[in-house]
C-alpha cells in the first residue's frame, strides 16, 4: 500500500483570517458566526469560540468563512516558542490574522492532517518558525513546503482509529492521575479547615491551654467582616497583630552594586510559594536591609506575599534562615512567641483564597500591613498545635510523593504518546497487542 510525501500546501485549500474593526459594532453585536483566535485553541476538537461576528463582518472586512471540518493552526503567538496549537474545527468559522486553516482536499482526512502536524511538531518548529522576531511566528512559505507522509484514505482512517483509541486510553490514565492530585489537595484543605476548628485531633492540654500563649492584654472582639467560627473552650481567638510583630520589607537600589554584594539572603515575593525557604536567589549587604530590628527577620518568621503575579499574592513561606525581603511581602515574627510557625503557616494556607480576595483591590481593601494585623486567627493549645502540625505535614508529604510520581508518569505518558505518533506516521501502527507492546517497550513504560 503506497504512501506519498505531500507538501502541506497540497493537502487542501488554505485560509487566512482577519479582525473586523472592533469600533464597528455592526460587526460584533449579536454575532452568531464563530470567530477563532489563538485563545480558543486548547482542545483537539473545538466545540465553539469565545467571540462571534455578524454576517456584515464577513462581507465588509478581511475575515472570511472557513468550511466546517477544517484544521486550524496558530501561526503567530508567543506559544510558538514551545508548541504549535492545532485543532479540528467541525463547524464553519472565521479567524483572526494569527491563524491559518486548511480544508482537506480529496483523499485526505482532516484528522490525518491534525495528527500529522502534532506528530511532526518538533520538525515544524525547527524548520518553519521565524527567528529573531518580537512575537514568535511561522514562516509560511517554509510551512507550505513541509511534507507529510500520506497513505491512501482508507489506510489513513484505519491508522487514525487505532491511534485515537490508544491515545484515549492514555488520556484516561492521565485523568486518573490528575484526579489523584485533586483528591490529595482536597484532603489537605479539609484537614486544615477541620483542624482549625478543633475537630481533627483530640485537644491536648498537657502544655496548657491557649490562654498560656497570649499576653493578658490580648482581647478579641469579632467584627462584622471577620470570618470566625466556634472552637473548643481551651482555644482562643486573637488577631495576628496582637500576637506577632508584622513588618514590611524593602528593596535596595538596583543601581547600588555594593548593596547587592553581601551574603544576607533577600526574598522576593515570587519566592514565597507555600514552602520553606533555606536559600534565596539574591543576597544583599546587611546594612542595605535597613533597621535590623524590623528589616532582618529571624528563622521561624512567616512571610506573606501581599503583591505578586499569578497565584503569588496570599501565599506564605517559613524562613529557615535569617533573611530580609522586599516591600511586596509582610513578615510575621511567629518565632518570637511560643506559637508554632508551622501552625500559623497552616492557618494562612487554609485562608489563602480569602486572603487573595482581600487583596484584590476594587471593592475589597488592599492587602497591606494593617489588613494583615487584623487577620483573626484561632489559637489552639500548644500541644494540640504540635499534633495538628504533624498531621498536616504528613498529608503534605503524601502530596509531595504523589507529585513526584505524577511527574514521572507524565514523562512516560508523553514519551509513549510521541512513540504512538511516530509509529502512526511511519506505517508501523497495526493495532495488534504485540506491536503496541513493542512501541511501549521502546519508551521504557
Kindly tell me if the per-residue pLDDT of 134 is higher than 90: no
**For residue 437, what pLDDT band results from cuts at 50, 70 and 90?**
very low
For residues 409, 414, 416, 419, the Cα torsion angle rounded to the nearest 10 degrees is -160
Could you tell me if 250 and 364 lie in one domain? yes
pLDDT band at 430 (very low <50, low <70, confident <90, very high): confident
Provide the pLDDT confidence category of residue 431 given band limits of 50, 70 and 90.
low
Q: Are residues 218 and 314 in the same domain?
A: yes
Taking only the tens place, the pLDDT of each residue in 351-394 is: 999 998 874 444 444 689 999 999 999 999 999 999 999 999 99
**Residue (of 23, 203, 22, 44) closest to 35 by Cα position:** 22
Q: 401: pLDDT confidence band, cut at 50, 70 and 90? A: very high
Same domain, 420 and 292: no
Q: Which of 380, 415, 430 is the last residue of a domain?
A: 380
C-alpha grid cell for residue 416?
A: 509513549
DSSP, collapsed to helix, strand or coil, labels residue 148 as strand
Final residue before a domain boundary, out of 333, 354, 380: 380
Cα 81 to Cα 325: distance, rounded to the nearest angstrom:
33
Question: Are 223 and 350 contained in the same domain?
Answer: yes
Q: CA of 89: how far to CAs of 21, 34, 45, 92, 108, in Å?
A: 24, 10, 6, 8, 15
First to last CA, the chain: 31
Q: Give the cell for residue 282.
A: 539574591
What rounded mean pLDDT belongs to the chain? 92
31-49: average pLDDT: 97
Instruction: Looking at the structure, tell me whether residues 203 and 311 fall in a common domain.
Output: no
CATH number of the domain residue 248 falls in: 3.90.220.20
> Are 274 and 294 contained in the same domain?
yes
For residues 218 and 358, state if they share a domain: yes
8 A C-beta contact, residue 378 and residue 231: yes
Q: What is the pLDDT of residue 438?
A: 44
d(CA 124, CA 137): 12
Both 342 and 221 in one domain: the answer is: yes
Pair 220, 289 in one domain = yes
Quick one: pLDDT at residue 14? 98
Beta strands across the sheet bearing 282-284? 282-284, 264-267, 324-325
- In the chain, what percentage of residues exceed pLDDT 70? 94
**124 and 178 co-located in one domain:** no
Mean pLDDT is lowest, of 78-92, 130-144, 310-324, for 130-144
| Domain span including residue 165 | 152-208+381-445
**pLDDT surpassing 60 at residue 12:** yes
Say yes or no: 342 and 387 in one domain: no
CA distance 325 to 334: 16
Which of 117, 150, 183 terminates a domain? The answer is 150
Residues 132 and 175 in one domain: no
Structural domain count of the chain: 3
Does residue 136 register a pLDDT over 70?
yes
Mean pLDDT of 405-433: 87
Amino acid at each position: 500500500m503506497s504512501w506519498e510525501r505531500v507538501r502541506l500546501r497540497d493537502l487542501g485549500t488554505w485560509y487566512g483570517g482577519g479582525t473586523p474593526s472592533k469600533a464597528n459594532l455592526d460587526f460584533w453585536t449579536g454575532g452568531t458566526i464563530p470567530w477563532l483566535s489563538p485563545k480558543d485553541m486548547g482542545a483537539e476538537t473545538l466545540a465553539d469560540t469565545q467571540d462571534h461576528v455578524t454576517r456584515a463582518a464577513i462581507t465588509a472586512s478581511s475575515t472570511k468563512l472557513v468550511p466546517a471540518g477544517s484544521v486550524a493552526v496558530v501561526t503567530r503567538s508567543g506559544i510558538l516558542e514551545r508548541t504549535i496549537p492545532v485543532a479540528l474545527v467541525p463547524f464553519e468559522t472565521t479567524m483572526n490574522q494569527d491563524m491559518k486553516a486548511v480544508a482537506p482536499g480529496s483523499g485526505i482526512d482532516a484528522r490525518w492532517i491534525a495528527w500529522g502536524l502534532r506528530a511532526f511538531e518538533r520538525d515544524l518548529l525547527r524548520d518553519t518558525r521565524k527567528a529573531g522576531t518580537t512575537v514568535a511566528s511561522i514562516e509560511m512559505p517554509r510551512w507550505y513546503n513541509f511534507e507529510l507522509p500520506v497513505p491512501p484514505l482508507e489506510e489513513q482512517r484505519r491508522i487514525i482509529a487505532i491511534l485515537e483509541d490508544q491515545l484515549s486510553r492514555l488520556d484516561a490514565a492521565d485523568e486518573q492521575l490528575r484526579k489523584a492530585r485533586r483528591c490529595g489537595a482536597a484532603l489537605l484543605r479539609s484537614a486544615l479547615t477541620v483542624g482549625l476548628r478543633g475537630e481533627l485531633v483530640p485537644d491536648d492540654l498537657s502544655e496548657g491551654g491557649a490562654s498560656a500563649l497570649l499576653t493578658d492584654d490580648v482581647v478579641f472582639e469579632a467584627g462584622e467582616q471577620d470570618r470566625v467560627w466556634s472552637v473548643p473552650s481551651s482555644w482562643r481567638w486573637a488577631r495576628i497583630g496582637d500576637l506577632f510583630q508584622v513588618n514590611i520589607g524593602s528593596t535596595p537600589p538596583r543601581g547600588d552594586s555594593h548593596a547587592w554584594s553581601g551574603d544576607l539572603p533577600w526574598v522576593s515575593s515570587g519566592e514565597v510559594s507555600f514552602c520553606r525557604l533555606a536559600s534565596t536567589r539574591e543576597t544583599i549587604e546587611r546594612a542595605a536591609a535597613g533597621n535590623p530590628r524590623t528589616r532582618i527577620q529571624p528563622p521561624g518568621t512567616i512571610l506573606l506575599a501581599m503583591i505578586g503575579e499569578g497565584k503569588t499574592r496570599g501565599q506564605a513561606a517559613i524562613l529557615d534562615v535569617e533573611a530580609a525581603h522586599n516591600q511586596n511581602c509582610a513578615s510575621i515574627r511567629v518565632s518570637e512567641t511560643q506559637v508554632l510557625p508551622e501552625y500559623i503557616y497552616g492557618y494562612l494556607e487554609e485562608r489563602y483564597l480569602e486572603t487573595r480576595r482581600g487583596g484584590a483591590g476594587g471593592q475589597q481593601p488592599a492587602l497591606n500591613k494593617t489588613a494583615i494585623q487584623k487577620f483573626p486567627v484561632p489559637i489552639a493549645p500548644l500541644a494540640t498545635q504540635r499534633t495538628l502540625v504533624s498531621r498536616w505535614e504528613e498529608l503534605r508529604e503524601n502530596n509531595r510523593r504523589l507529585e513526584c510520581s505524577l511527574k514521572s508518569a507524565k514523562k512516560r505518558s508523553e514519551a509513549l504518546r510521541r512513540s504512538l505518533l511516530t509509529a502512526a506516521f511511519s506505517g508501523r501502527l497495526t493495532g495488534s497487542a504485540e506491536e503496541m507492546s513493542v512501541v511501549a517497550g521502546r519508551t521504557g513504560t
